[in-house]
Structure 1
Amino acid sequence: MTNQEVANRLVVLLREGKFNDVYDELFHPDAHHIEPQSHYFADVKGVEAIKAKDAAMGEHLAGVEFMDIGNAVVASKHIAIPYKLTANLKDGKQMMLDEIIVYEVADGKILSEQFFY
């Protein structure tokens, strides 16, 4: 896959909420999640560990009220996607995300994802 094809598929899967499919289809097994702002998931290595991170976060969600995945921007070996989410938490609070996710791609696989918010 070209980087543009990876970006196109990534946007489709994210918009459909198929996050595990993103990891299974597009991520390299040794992919790296970078989120220095997070106290819990600042540096996660390996696609299975990234899936476990998402599952742990999902345990706190009661539902998603709003999700907007913007169009991908592809430049050389990187893809950037704006991501907005409003979710209701099980404790009754609401969580709002407004971030840019930057993916590094090589040989048709995502090597890393980094969250900026």
Structure 2
Amino acid sequence: MTTQQTAMTTQQIADRLVTICKSGEWEKAQRELYAENAVSLEPYATPAFEQETRGLAAILEKGKKFDSMVDTMHSLKVSGPLVADNSFACVLDMDVTMKEGGRMHMKELCVYQIKDGKIIEERFYM
């Protein structure tokens, strides 16, 4: 007898992402919940990050680069998700001291698109 694993619902993915991200484990969330061909979209390009990052491997590298730029994470809050059929949003609120640039408060709206039980797009608004 074989059991077929069913894809997670948008609500389940949203809840899981929020739970993992509250502990700052971005890579764990990405490896578990993102599609291999996922896309990450920033509001604009910066010297540190492209506006568009394609593919899970590149998104994982982007996360490692961000982590390497952080000196101290003073606080990290992630709101509960607001969920629709194939998308959800949450607010990420960080008080962080960067190795270069000093202490800053970053608050952004994070919007995620789901397809076939995986996150296929993340988009950040500041």
TM-score with structure 2 setting the length: 0.88
- Whose radius of gyration is greater, 1 or 2? 2
| Per-residue deviation, residues 38-83 of structure 1 (Å, max 9, x unmatched) | 3222000001101111111222211100111001010111110111
Please state how far the C-alpha of 1:17 moved relative to its aligned partner.
Answer: 1.4
**C-alpha distance in 1 between matches for 2:54 and 2:99:** 28
Runs (4+) of structure 1 exceeding 4 A deviation are none
Q: Secondary structure at the match of 1:59?
A: helix
Unpaired runs of 5+ residues, structure 1, are none
> Displacement of 1:100 after TM fit?
0.5
Q: Percent same amino acid among aligned pairs?
A: 27
Work out the CA distance in 2 between the residues paired with 1:18 and 1:92: 23
Where structure 2 has 5 or more consecutive residues not aligned to the other structure, the ranges are: 1-7
Cα deviation per residue 1:9-45 (whole Å; 9 max; x = unaligned)?
A: 1111011211111111100011000113232220000
